[in-house]
Chain A
Amino acid sequence: MSPAAPEGSSRAALRDPVLAPTVLLLWAAVSLFVLYPVTRLLVLTFWDGGPTLAPVVELVSSWQHRRALGNSLLLAALVGGIGTALGFAFALLAVRARLPRGVGGALDAVVLLPLISPPFTAAIALIFALGPKGLISYHVFGIASLNIYGLGGTLLSETLTYFPIAYLTLKGVLGNIDPNLEDGAFSLGARRGRVFRTVTVPLAAPGLANSFLLLSAASLADFATPLILGGTKFPVLPTQAFLQITGLYDMRGGAALSFLLLVPALAVFIAQRWWTERRSVVTVTGKSGAATSIKSLSPGAVALLALVCAVTVLLVLTFYALIVVASMVRALGADNSLSSAHYAHVFSGGLKAIRDTLVIAAICMPLGGLFAVVLGFVVARTRFPGRRALEFAAMINYALPGTIVGIAYLVAFNDPPLALTGTAFILVICYVFRYSLAGTRATTALLAQIDPSLEEASASLGARRDVTFRRVVLPLIRPALLAGMTVLFIRAMTAISATIFLVSLSWSLVTVRILEGITNLELGQASAFSVLVILLVYAAVLLASLAMRWLNAGNLGQAGTLLGG
């Protein structure tokens, strides 16, 4: 029955009968599944009879690695900036342009496509669409010598892959902005542009910063896209780390390069913190008046947004049309006769991988979703000592390239007493501790908009902190829980870099089958698996939206819109 006020001292937080054990459990989980494997790998890398920086010194002297560091930062900034802008455009159009219901739903469905595609597939579709003899570049525009390998192709592919994260984040944030605030500005005589600049954008700022962070971090950790599209002209750190390990058989060097990546990741994290905490962006106060109609976008602005979104949508649709076609013909380009052979293979030889993946995803979602919102809540709403350190520790696995996380897990969990390799559990924890960040971010961003007085009211009526969390906070942050769980499901269906080291004979994954398809030159099989993954994810997202709408029963409209209802 302790007072649950966020303003309470950290000493009070330590005595809280619910909070203290919760935080301890979070720390225990993060220590075991993030800090321990990373430490094992750090020791392996920087301990050679004594501490040594030799691996790093050696690597930094290589021209490729020096350039890779610069390229990684440039790419992360560009993907973060352009992806956030694109996501914001889509979110504005979806939330503010009063689109017909069907159009909004269709927009959501298309926007999700790149996010839910298995790795490699999208990059390969991009090559076939925009490459030297590409469907769009050559057959539509007649350009025969377009070089997509390098910064351009990598940037385009990563932006299209990750901007949906910005869209999902910003849609929730924009939906939470009370239109009365904008109305206030209008009634004071401000024009649309000014209202947008001085009211809408500042209110969306935590969302924008979050999305920039998420996109930059995603770009910093992505190795699959630059591996295929970067070529030798555009080396980036995660790819170099991967190549160092798998190509030069140099695990220490690869690990050292990966730890270099933590530096920019930490910088982005601190910048984001500083930015969001300077401003108050409370818009859900519990005393909100009647919502008025939204008029902050002029018809011209809507038309411009619609154009940007339409071009993006067309580009994305072309990529996926190519994948669908490849899955339905005998051998794309050689024998274009219709064939169901690839799907027959998926539903015979591939059935086990599909089942395994679904089982693992089903376990990941509730575990990771809960972990994400509890962590987000502890970080945003309590004064618990060390909560920043906890938040940072929890994002390490996300910031590191997957190859490194996979190898760290192998090193840490291969020997008794923690011999987890070969089990489904190692895949589950890998996903939970690598991909819960989206849920945590969504939670903190939403909580930044919700006035703590709601919880204070609950506490002053005598509710315990866990009751307040369950009855007041959880309903308010349901969109974040939903977003977090959906991202986890998507990742379980699509991620590969870490899990390639963790799959076993008992537990296989669809993504590994896709990679096999591509390595075996079975483009058709890889495409058929990809189409199946996309359909499964759509089904899951649809179910999640329906469940959320049913749960909410009208008390929180934006939950449905977060993933398109």
Chain B
Amino acid sequence: MSTILLLAACLLLAAPAWGADALNVYTAWPESLSQPIFKAYTARTGVPINFIRLSTGELVARATAEKNNPRADVIWGAPGDGFAAAKAAGIIEPYRPPTAENVPAELKDPEGYYTAVSRNTLIFMSNAKLLKEKGLKPPTSWSDLLEPAYKGQIQTADARTSGTALTRILSIYYAFGRDEDKAVEYQKRLHQNVQVYTKSGGGCTIPTAMGQAMVCIAHMPDAMEAKKKGYDMITTFPREGVAAVIEGVALVRGAKNREAATRFIDWTFTKDMQDLLDKNEVYMLPTLPGASINPAVAALMKEAKLLPVDLDWVGKNRKRLVDRWVNEVIKE
């Protein structure tokens, strides 16, 4: 009896869900950052964009499971390592937008599987009140974070869930002159001061803002989002430098709305869209030369020593870096 009801419900509800004319997008960006950009595209072209926000890992897992009958047309706004994984899983296909040749080579996949929408980096965010209570200066070096005063006072992301954590590991790797063993050794000592590794990259910002921890190591847009809400936070960069990572875009292999998808990717690399990063106060840098840069972002970025990242090397070595984090850094 229940099955009959189930089947009846099936007939009632199994209406086609994904519109034919709309563009379907998976994104890892928070709605507050991605939606204004998608809306702007719809306003200009009349093409509605349906999107689902997923964490990078969930996004790749979902797209992989849907491989034979893809539901998304474009993956837009996710960290570079997610695209490396997507490329390895065979769920994206090469597509070079016409203006992409202006994008510097280090910001795109050599085989054209993905291209950087924006550049992103890491920042230290400290709770001003707590620092003052303990008479501490905000950390301006990776070695500052090893001070005993920070014991159990640092929150940052788990390397198995968050692109932010990979940026952190890469920052340390490049800051230590690409000496991987030294970088691991440093992380082991940092681990002694870490209170908890959060699931999402931005997961440490609100707890730190609320005084649960003193310092949070996060991606710049997440940290600035918390600051915008009015929390009394100080942002600093380590003087050894931070890794410049990318947020990318790619065409899904076998996309149902391929033409609409490529048009949207093309638009991503126009000044029109790249300027939106400035207008919408997205704390990332545009990748298209000539796009306007938000003065606040530019001022902040001036403090940062950006270390260039070799995308190809990251794609090939990410798994080992994360494995070493699991098996050496956090092992007790």
Binds B, one of A110-118, A207-215, A310-318, A328-336: A328-336
Question: Contact: A249 with B60, CB < 8 Å?
Answer: yes
The answer, yes or no, to whether A186 is at the interface (CB within 8 Å) is: no
Q: Which 3 A-B pairs have the closest CB atoms?
A: A246-B57, A247-B160, A422-B17
Q: Which residue of A lies closest to B57 (CB)?
A: A246
Minimum distance in angstroms from B257 CB to a CB of chain A = 13
How many residues of chain A have a CB within 8 Å of chain B?
71
A21-56 CB contacts (< 8 Å) to partner B:
22, 25-26, 28-29
A-B pairs with beta carbons under 8 Å apart, 13 shown: A28-B3, A64-B331, A133-B211, A227-B199, A248-B160, A332-B210, A370-B2, A414-B66, A422-B71, A504-B52, A505-B18, A521-B202, A522-B32
The answer, yes or no, to whether B222 is at the interface (CB within 8 Å) is: yes
Per-residue CB proximity of A360-400 to B under 8 Å, as 1/0?
A: 00010011001100100000000000000000000000000
The answer, yes or no, to whether A13 is at the interface (CB within 8 Å) is: no
Q: Which residue of A lies closest to B198 (CB)?
A: A228
Question: Contact: A231 with B2, CB < 8 Å?
Answer: no
The answer, yes or no, to whether A233 is at the interface (CB within 8 Å) is: yes
Question: Contact: B158 with A247, CB < 8 Å?
Answer: yes
Minimum distance in angstroms from A436 CB to a CB of chain B = 9
Among B1, B24, B32, the residue within 8 A (CB) of A520 is B32
Minimum distance in angstroms from B26 CB to a CB of chain A = 11
Residues of B within 8 A of A26 (CB): 2-3
B205-220 CB contacts (< 8 Å) to partner A:
205-207, 209-213
The answer, yes or no, to whether A340 is at the interface (CB within 8 Å) is: no
The answer, yes or no, to whether B40 is at the interface (CB within 8 Å) is: no
The answer, yes or no, to whether A429 is at the interface (CB within 8 Å) is: yes
Per-residue CB proximity of A396-428 to B under 8 Å, as 1/0?
A: 000000000001001100111001111111001
Among A244, A249, A331, A410, the residue within 8 A (CB) of B230 is A331
Minimum distance in angstroms from B286 CB to a CB of chain A = 22
Question: Contact: B210 with A63, CB < 8 Å?
Answer: no
Question: Contact: A425 with B327, CB < 8 Å?
Answer: no
Among B6, B31, B158, the residue within 8 A (CB) of A243 is B158
Q: A29-B6, A232-B330, A374-B1 are in contact. Are A501 and B65 (CB under 8 A)?
A: yes
Binds A, one of B7-15, B245-253, B297-305: B7-15
Report the Cα distance A363→B2, complex, angstroms: 12
Minimum distance in angstroms from B325 CB to a CB of chain A = 10
Report the Cα distance A501→B65, complex, angstroms: 10
The answer, yes or no, to whether B326 is at the interface (CB within 8 Å) is: yes
Report the Cα distance A243→B231, complex, angstroms: 31
The answer, yes or no, to whether B54 is at the interface (CB within 8 Å) is: yes
Minimum distance in angstroms from A241 CB to a CB of chain B = 11
Report the Cα distance A274→B230, complex, angstroms: 59
The answer, yes or no, to whether B167 is at the interface (CB within 8 Å) is: no
Per-residue CB proximity of B179-206 to A under 8 Å, as 1/0?
A: 0000000000000000111111010011
Among B52, B209, B331, the residue within 8 A (CB) of A334 is B209
Residues of B within 8 A of A282 (CB): none
Q: A246-B57, A504-B71 are in contact. List 4 more A-B contacts (CB 8 A).
A: A62-B327, A149-B196, A249-B61, A421-B66
Question: Contact: B17 with A506, CB < 8 Å?
Answer: yes
Question: Contact: A505 with B17, CB < 8 Å?
Answer: yes
Residues of A within 8 A of B57 (CB): 245-247, 249
Question: Contact: A231 with B5, CB < 8 Å?
Answer: no
- How many inter-chain residue pairs (CB < 8 Å) link A and B? 191
Q: Which residues of B contact A (CB under 8 A)?
A: 1-6, 9-10, 13-18, 24, 30-32, 50-58, 60-62, 64-66, 68-69, 71, 85, 88-89, 152, 158-162, 195-200, 202, 205-207, 209-213, 222, 225-226, 229-232, 319, 322, 326-327, 330-332
Residues of A within 8 A of B65 (CB): 251, 407, 410-411, 414, 501
Report the Cα distance A131→B24, complex, angstroms: 41
A118-168 CB contacts (< 8 Å) to partner B:
127-128, 131-133, 145, 147, 149
Among A231, A334, A432, A504, the residue within 8 A (CB) of B17 is A504
A490-536 CB contacts (< 8 Å) to partner B:
500-501, 503-507, 516, 518-523
Minimum distance in angstroms from A16 CB to a CB of chain B = 15
Q: A147-B152, A232-B158, A332-B210 are in contact. Are A63 and B331 (CB under 8 A)?
A: yes
Minimum distance in angstroms from A410 CB to a CB of chain B = 4
Residues of A within 8 A of B213 (CB): 132
Report the Cα distance A233→B196, complex, angstroms: 9
Question: Contact: B210 with A335, CB < 8 Å?
Answer: no
Report the Cα distance A62→B326, complex, angstroms: 10
Residues of A within 8 A of B210 (CB): 128, 133, 332-333
Report the Cα distance A228→B158, complex, angstroms: 11
A199-258 CB contacts (< 8 Å) to partner B:
227-228, 231-233, 243-249, 251
Minimum distance in angstroms from B320 CB to a CB of chain A = 11
Question: Contact: A424 with B319, CB < 8 Å?
Answer: no
Question: Contact: B30 with A251, CB < 8 Å?
Answer: no
Question: Contact: B3 with A334, CB < 8 Å?
Answer: no
Minimum distance in angstroms from A405 CB to a CB of chain B = 12
Question: Contact: B212 with A519, CB < 8 Å?
Answer: no
Q: A147-B152, A414-B65, A506-B18 are in contact. Are A374 and B9 (CB under 8 A)?
A: no
Per-residue CB proximity of A316-357 to B under 8 Å, as 1/0?
A: 000000000000001111110000000000000000000000
Q: A63-B331, A333-B209, A334-B231 are in contact. Are A501 and B3 (CB under 8 A)?
A: no
Question: Contact: B9 with A407, CB < 8 Å?
Answer: no
Among B6, B24, B89, B322, the residue within 8 A (CB) of A429 is B6
Residues of B within 8 A of A507 (CB): 17
Q: Which residue of B lies closest to A224 (CB)?
A: B199
Q: Which residue of A lies closest to B201 (CB)?
A: A519
Residues of B within 8 A of A128 (CB): 210, 212
Question: Contact: A232 with B30, CB < 8 Å?
Answer: no
Question: Contact: B197 with A415, CB < 8 Å?
Answer: no
Residues of A within 8 A of B51 (CB): 505
Residues of B within 8 A of A520 (CB): 30-32, 202, 225
Residues of B within 8 A of A133 (CB): 210-212
Q: A232-B197, A249-B89, A367-B6 are in contact. Are A22 and B232 (CB under 8 A)?
A: no
Residues of B within 8 A of A425 (CB): 9-10, 13-14
Residues of A within 8 A of B66 (CB): 410, 414, 421
Report the Cα distance A28→B1, complex, angstroms: 11
Minimum distance in angstroms from B219 CB to a CB of chain A = 12
Among A246, A334, A367, A521, the residue within 8 A (CB) of B161 is A246
Question: Contact: A25 with B61, CB < 8 Å?
Answer: no
Minimum distance in angstroms from A26 CB to a CB of chain B = 7
Among A132, A330, A504, the residue within 8 A (CB) of B212 is A132
Q: A248-B160, A334-B229, A411-B65 are in contact. Are A231 and B6 (CB under 8 A)?
A: no
Residues of B within 8 A of A370 (CB): 1-2, 5
Question: Contact: B1 with A521, CB < 8 Å?
Answer: no
Residues of A within 8 A of B232 (CB): 334
Residues of A within 8 A of B327 (CB): 62-64
Question: Contact: B322 with A247, CB < 8 Å?
Answer: yes
Report the Cα distance A64→B160, complex, angstroms: 13
Report the Cα distance A374→B2, complex, angstroms: 9
Residues of A within 8 A of B196 (CB): 149, 231-232
Among B55, B152, B231, the residue within 8 A (CB) of A333 is B231
Among B15, B54, B195, the residue within 8 A (CB) of A500 is B54
Q: A370-B5, A428-B9, A503-B52 are in contact. Are A334 and B230 (CB under 8 A)?
A: yes
